[in-house]
Amino acid sequence: MPRFRSRLLIATFPLLAVLGQACRKDRPQPQWDVDALVPLVKVSLSINDLVPDSLLSADSMGNVSLLYSTELFTLSLDTVLTAPDTSFRYTYALPFPGPVQFPPGTTFNTNDDVTQFDLAPLELTSLIVRSGQLDVVITNMMNGHIIGNLSLPGASLDGAPFQVEMPLPPGSPSNPSTTSASRPLDGYSFDLRGPGLNAVNSLATHLSYANSPDGSTISITNQDSLLATVSYHGIIPQYASGSFGTRSLSIDPSTAELDLFRNISGTIDLAQVDARLKVRNGIGVDARANLLYLRSRNTSTGNEIALNAPITNGPLNIDRAIDLGHSFQAASNTFHLGQGNSNIDQFLENLPDKIDYALDVTINPLGNISNGHDFLYHDSKLNATLEVEIPLRLIATNLVLGKTLDVDLPGSEDAHAWRSGTLHLFATNGFPLSAEVQLAVAGPNGQVISLLGPGGTVAPAQLGPGNTVVAPSASRVDFRISADQMNMIHHYGKLQATVVFNTADQGQHTQILESYRMDLQITLAANYMVNGDE
């Protein structure tokens, strides 16, 4: 019977083997190719989909305008006021040989001084510190426990004056003791009029030394001394007032980025352009700016157009801000640019991606007309913004819009289901522009690797009187994708889409309306490998 059982086991083994094979989950999936004809995606585009909503406005007639602003330059606090780190030394020694005996608790020196900050040409009478620090270091050469006391009668926080008391261990001329202390100055209000309230940039300072009440009588000669160093570090004003003087600030030539025309090239003729240079002054000083130049620069073409306008031909007088007590009200000055007083249309038709500028600014050009009431807050700044309003009434000639699209198709370069085929683009165009569309496989840096032919042109809508659209037009554009190109798309994962726009009427400007739409549908006739992504 045991022999029989072993035969039974041997015969059973193959059964288990085939069971295991049948249950394998990693069996390869069969593959075959099918010819698929499927709609992929549809989208309806209006001007709001082509340009961010924040840049568009429309009037009651639906005429669309482009509103764009870019900041040209900013003068901030550190341009006007910088409080340098400053140290002051105070020394005490007997003016005669001595010795002199001081019993415990005796104050043997008091020193009232005025700390004079070097802030010229600013003449400040008041300063509120946003952040900063005061360090005190005292070297003691006296053979006794000394109590040092530093106070700033002109500096207070919530009504309490600033004060530092420091116990100084005994020292000697050959072996002095050194004691240091640091205190934050955040929020302290400095009265910089000095002890007599009639000066500027001046802070009353009081320093005193006493023999410790708990110590013993000390004997001091003229060889013994006390040396105090008081340092102000990292003072950042929250508020400052006084007379800021008359100064000229030179702004180095600089460049502002302009992304309004990014990825666009070609020729555009704008019917109308309105622009404003808005200067906002949050500093309590009068100013006069001289705009040395303002140039639009197209880095793709290398073209530069210098703005020729009153603002580049003469000084810009800028009003001062108003001090509200705990905040300020900025002054705003607006300088208009139009086709009547400038070449702003050519400036923008250059499709700039950068704006170069240089200027200088004079503070208080007329002197101290505020009678010492210039001011600034930490958030005060003087900035200039260029605002552009462009009614989309234009002539576009070969206006090229390029965009690199990241394509994330299922599968990998080696295994992917979509093998080859043709993309069909169906467009119902309600815009008065034609659009020549090209698609290409793009490399890692967006460079064109292989063009998907043939591409084609979406016809413009049919125009009626006044160049307004009376009926949309239907077009079809095909893009063939070979098997090699499909491999490349999977490899690089990028497609470069290029659209060349031309207004239907090249002879006169055409207004873009908010109601214009372009309906797009993409379908695909392709060879698809079932389970090809695995």
Partner 1 sequence: MVMSRPWGWAALFLPVGACAQGDTLPFPNTVHGHRAIIEVDAEWGSSALTNDLAWGLFTGQRLSTELRLAGSKEVRGNNRAGACFSARGSLAWGQGFLGQERLMPRISMGHQYLLGIEFARDAYELAFLGNAGFEDRTAHAGPARFVAISYQQLGFGVEDRRTGSYAELGVVNGHAFSNGRIHKADLYTAPDGRYLELDLDGEYHRSDTGSTRLNKGTGAAAALHWRHRVKVAGTHAMLSLTATDLGFIAWNGNSLSAGKNGTIRYDGLTVAGIPGLEDLALDKGRVQDSLGLGYRTGSVLQWLPAKLQARLEFGRMVRLWPGQVFHAYSLSVDHWFVPGYRPRALAQGRLFLTRAFHAEAGLGYGGFSGLRAVAGTGTCVGKHLYVGIRSTHFIGVLSGQARGMALAGSLEATW
Q: How far is the CB of 34 from partner 1 (least distance, A)?
A: 3
- Residue 20's CB: how many other CB atoms inside 10 A? 9
Of 108 and 426, which CB lies nearer to partner 1 in the complex structure? 426
Q: How far is the CB of 45 from partner 1 (least distance, A)?
A: 7
Q: What is the largest CA-CA distance in the chain?
A: 128
Give the strand order in the sheet containing 64-75.
Answer: 56-58, 64-75, 382-391, 274-281, 331-338
Q: How far is the CB of 66 from partner 1 (least distance, A)?
A: 17
Q: Give the closest residue to 393 by CA, choosing from 504, 508, 470.
A: 508
Q: Give the closest residue to 72 by CA, choosing from 385, 387, 388, 389.
A: 385
DSSP 72-139: EEEE-HHHH-----EEEEEEEE-SSS--EEE-TT-EEEEEEEEEE---TT-EEEEEEEEEEEEEEEEE
Of 62 and 410, which CB lies nearer to partner 1 in the complex structure? 410
- Residue 334's CB: how many other CB atoms inside 10 A? 11
Of 9 and 470, which CB lies nearer to partner 1 in the complex structure? 9
Of 43 and 366, which CB lies nearer to partner 1 in the complex structure? 43
Of 25 and 326, which CB lies nearer to partner 1 in the complex structure? 25
Q: How far is the CB of 36 from partner 1 (least distance, A)?
A: 5
My answer on whether omega of the bond before 195 falls inside 30° of 0, hence cis, is: no
Q: How far is CA 311 from CA 108, 227, 279, in A?
A: 66, 58, 12
- Residue 93 identity (one-letter amino acid): A
My answer on whether omega of the bond before 213 falls inside 30° of 0, hence cis, is: no
3-state secondary structure of 447: coil
Binding site for partner 1 (CB under 8 A): 1, 4, 7-8, 11-12, 14-15, 17-19, 21-22, 27-43, 45, 48-50, 405-406, 408, 410, 424, 426, 476, 521-525, 528
Of 46 and 201, which CB lies nearer to partner 1 in the complex structure? 46
Q: Give the closest residue to 129 by CA, choosing from 155, 163, 165.
A: 155
* Tokens encoding 150: 């530093």
Of 41 and 61, which CB lies nearer to partner 1 in the complex structure? 41
Total length of the chain: 534
Of 11 and 470, which CB lies nearer to partner 1 in the complex structure? 11
Of 12 and 299, which CB lies nearer to partner 1 in the complex structure? 12
d(CA 324, CA 341): 37
Q: Give the closest residue to 329 by CA, choosing from 276, 388, 394, 375.
A: 375
Q: How far is the CB of 489 from partner 1 (least distance, A)?
A: 14
- Residue 156's CB: how many other CB atoms inside 10 A? 15
The radius of gyration of the chain's CA atoms, rounded to the nearest angstrom, is 39
Q: How far is the CB of 21 from partner 1 (least distance, A)?
A: 7
Q: How far is the CB of 438 from partner 1 (least distance, A)?
A: 16
My answer on whether omega of the bond before 39 falls inside 30° of 0, hence cis, is: no
Q: How far is the CB of 56 from partner 1 (least distance, A)?
A: 13
d(CA 324, CA 165): 37
Of 319 and 519, which CB lies nearer to partner 1 in the complex structure? 519
Q: How far is the CB of 2 from partner 1 (least distance, A)?
A: 12
Q: How far is the CB of 499 from partner 1 (least distance, A)?
A: 11
Of 21 and 371, which CB lies nearer to partner 1 in the complex structure? 21
Q: How far is the CB of 181 from partner 1 (least distance, A)?
A: 59
3-state secondary structure of 195: coil
Q: How far is the CB of 136 from partner 1 (least distance, A)?
A: 60
Q: How far is the CB of 446 from partner 1 (least distance, A)?
A: 14
For 355, the enclosing helix (H) or strand (E) is strand 354-363
Backbone φ and ψ for 128, nearest 5 degrees, come out as -110, 125
For 57, the enclosing helix (H) or strand (E) is strand 56-58
d(CA 452, CA 489): 11
Of 311 and 524, which CB lies nearer to partner 1 in the complex structure? 524
Report how far Cα 263 is from the mean position of its chain's Cα atoms.
21
Of 89 and 403, which CB lies nearer to partner 1 in the complex structure? 403
- Residue 151's CB: how many other CB atoms inside 10 A? 17
